[in-house]
Amino acid sequence: MSHIQLHNAESISRKLGFFQNLDLPLEEAYPTRWGVAKLIRREVRRRGLITRRDLRQSIEPFFLAAGIEEDSGRIIQDVADEMVELRELAELKVENQRGYVTLPSRWLRMSDDVAILLGATATETYEFNFNHPKQFPRRFQPKKEVVRKLEDAGIYEQSFEDWLGKPGWSLYCEPNHHIDSLDALLSFYIESLESEGALFDVSNTSILAIKYDPGAFFGQPWDSGRTRWTSPAELPEGIYLGAQRGFHERQWHPLLLKTSVSSCKSYFINSKTTNHIYDLRNWLLLALAARNGKREMVLTNHDSSCLQITFPLPAQVIRCLKLAGESSSPWQYRILNSDGLIGKLSDVFPFIDFR
Do 181 and 222 have their domain in common?
A: yes
Has residue 275 been placed in a domain? yes
Has residue 2 been placed in a domain? no
The pTM score is: 0.88
pLDDT recorded at residue 22: 47
Q: What is the CATH number of the domain that holds 34?
A: 1.10.10.10
Query: End of a domain among 291, 306, 321?
Result: 291
Alpha carbon 131 to chain centroid distance?
A: 19
Do 154 and 225 have their domain in common?
A: no
Q: How far is CA 111 from CA 139, 327, 336, in A?
A: 11, 20, 9
Do 230 and 340 have their domain in common?
A: no
Do 96 and 197 have their domain in common?
A: no
Do 94 and 182 have their domain in common?
A: no
Has residue 111 been placed in a domain? yes
pLDDT recorded at residue 11: 63
Has residue 3 been placed in a domain? no
Has residue 206 been placed in a domain? yes
Query: End of a domain among 145, 164, 183?
Result: 164
Do 174 and 270 have their domain in common?
A: yes
Quote the number of domains for the chain. Answer: 4
| Cβ atoms of 308 and 354 closer than 8 Å | no
For residues 208, 214, 216, 222, the Cα torsion angle rounded to the nearest 10 degrees is 20
Give residue 34's domain range: 9-102
Do 189 and 280 have their domain in common?
A: yes
Has residue 4 been placed in a domain? no
Do 143 and 216 have their domain in common?
A: no
pLDDT by residue for the chain (355 residues), tens digit each? 466 666 666 666 666 666 655 454 555 556 778 888 989 999 999 988 999 999 999 988 888 777 777 778 888 999 999 999 999 999 988 778 889 998 999 999 988 888 899 999 887 654 565 555 567 888 888 999 989 999 998 999 999 999 999 999 999 998 888 899 999 999 999 999 999 999 998 888 889 999 999 999 998 888 877 789 999 999 999 999 999 988 887 889 999 999 988 889 999 998 665 568 999 999 999 999 999 999 999 998 877 788 999 999 999 999 999 988 888 888 998 887 777 788 889 999 999 999 8
Do 278 and 194 have their domain in common?
A: yes
| Cβ atoms of 98 and 52 closer than 8 Å | yes
Distance CA 32, CA 45 (A): 20
Contacts of 234 (CB under 8 A, 6+ apart): none
pLDDT recorded at residue 107: 95
Has residue 115 been placed in a domain? yes
Query: What's the 3-state SS for the chain?
Result: CCCCCCCCHHHHHHHHCCECCCCCCHHHCCECHHHHHHHHHHHHHHHCEEEHHHHHHHHHHHHHHCCCCCCHHHHHHHHHHHHHHCCCEEEEEECCEEEEEECCCEEEECCCCCEEEECCCCCCCCCCCCCCCCCCCEEECCCHHHHHHHHHCCCEECCHHHHHCCCHHHHHCCHHHCCCCHHHHHHHHHHHHHHHCEEECCCCCCEEEECCCCCCCCCCCCCCCCCCEECHHHCCCEEEEEEEECCCCCCEEEEEEEECCCCEEEEECCCCCCCCHHHHHHHHHHHHHHHCCCCEEEEEECCCCEEEECCCCCHHHHHHHHHHEEEEECCEEEECCHHHHHHHHHHHCCCEEEC
Do 19 and 42 have their domain in common?
A: yes
What residues form DSSP beta bridges with 230?
209
Do 319 and 215 have their domain in common?
A: no
Do 139 and 238 have their domain in common?
A: no
b/e for 145-158, b at 16 or more Cβ within 10 A? ebbeebeeeebeeb
Has residue 261 been placed in a domain? yes
Query: End of a domain among 291, 325, 344?
Result: 291
